[in-house]
Amino acid sequence: MAADRSPQPPKEAWERRKHVIRRWYLTENRTCEDIQRTLENEGFKVSERQIKNRLSEWKFERKKTPFQQYVAMLVVADYYKSCGVDIDFEVPKREERVTYTTQKVRKECERVKKRYATRGQPLHLPSLSHAQAILEQNKISWSEKHLVVRPNVFEQDHPYNGLLSPFVKPAAMLQLFKLANPSGVYVL
């Protein structure tokens, strides 16, 4: 038996309401259910699913960060941690960018890992290059939080400017420290 479907309103009718739906969803943080009720009160009958599909078509930002992005952030954070660098992520959310700490990312990944474990499924981590591609594709950037080195390294003139490219390899980072302090006094 086929499920009852709401008739699809014409594209023009959606486009006339696009700006107000965007405001309700992204700025006022209203749910799809609430938007559906408001539209229905205005005589525009659509289902929540139709609203969600339209939000996706319009590429309005999701309210929740997908777990694949959290896992990608964890892979990148672990790589930088192995280099002695703690990083924060800047994640696009609605109309702004939100900072996610590595701690927040780890906590969310633990939650996801437990969910997979209850289903008896392993959680596969992407490679570093794939994780970086996922983050780049979703406009998630990252920057250093703390650099773990002895203070005397920064007392000298050196080419290191405190920013680390997301694609710097450990050997390249080590070379930067050697340039900064030829005596070899550094901690990674």
Joined tokens for residue 29: 């943080």
Phi, psi of 124, deg, nearest 5? -90, 130
CA end-to-end distance (rounded Å), the chain: 64
Residues 73-130 pLDDT 10s = 999 999 998 888 889 999 887 667 888 999 999 998 898 888 888 888 888 889 999 9
Helix axes 48-57, 32-41, angle to 10 degrees: 110
Alpha-carbon gap, residue 66 to 17, rounded angstroms: 27
Q: Which of 58-67, 88-97, 169-178 has the highest mean pLDDT?
A: 88-97
HSE of 66 in the Cβ direction (CA atoms, 13 Å)? 9
Residues 28-37 pLDDT 10s = 778 889 999 9
Of 30, 23, 61, 64, give the one whose Cα is nearest residue 48.
30
